[in-house]
Amino acid sequence: MTIFFVVVFLILAIGTLGWERGYCEEKGAPITIGVPLPLGSPQGQDTERAIILAAEEINAKGGVSIGGAKRPLKVESVDTREHEPGFPSHEALMALEKLITEKKPQVLIGGYRSEIVLAYFDLVAKYKIPFLTPIAMTPLFGKRLNEDREKFKYMFRVGNNVKGFFALLVGYMDFVREKHNIDSVYFVTTDVLAWRGTVKMLTPHLEKTGWKILAYDKVPLGTSDYTS
């Protein structure tokens, strides 16, 4: 997450919502950025720190200029706990809705697991708050968006998707096979949508180029003991 992403997101929010409709009516009132993330995970913590750092740097320069007035940025976070093993997606939805109704953010930045972000679509459409996700990689994001672009126009993804990541993996695997004469692979991934999709996309290429796929083990999210 960079300052650029935060600024772009705010521009999208201004253009989509229309500040003239009453958002931040009080002169100089802060623009609240809601941050729904799994704050117990390294990815969630790092993303939250980046957003806070970006907001602090922007505020140090006077904030964001809207309608001729400077407005500071305020960050409000909620722990979605979606990194925890067996954590039900509806509780992440409840956490997001609690953030929206209690903290009244004008914009949202977050989302970690692809399954959770896909579940956010209807809730974000209900509250009509622009939502930007930098992490979730599933190609199903675009498919879901295309189901109803008017309804889901508040959803934005600024990070990579599995297809882009797949291209990097193909290049890496081809390099390893050619330069180091390695031709067998054992897949071990967490049992989540993004990684299942990555392996599914990568397997035909590996089979076509002579790799031996020994096995594919999917482990529960949060697994730390791989001895068995």
pLDDT digits (tens, 9 = 90+) for 101-148: 999 999 999 988 888 999 999 999 999 999 999 888 888 898 999 999
What is the predicted pLDDT for the residue at 25? 54
Q: Distance between CA 149 and CA 117 in Å, rounded?
A: 16
Neighbouring C-alpha atoms within 13 Å toward the C-beta of 179: 6
List, for the chain, all residue ranges whose pLDDT scores fall below the cut of 70: 1-27, 228
- Give the predicted TM-score (pTM) of the model: 0.78
What is the predicted pLDDT for the residue at 92? 92
| Alpha-carbon torsion, ordered 50, 52, 58, 59, to 10 deg | -170
Which segments of the chain are extended strands (E)? Answer: 31-37, 64-66, 69-71, 73-79, 107-109, 131-133, 155-157, 184-190, 212-219
What is the predicted pLDDT for the residue at 2? 53
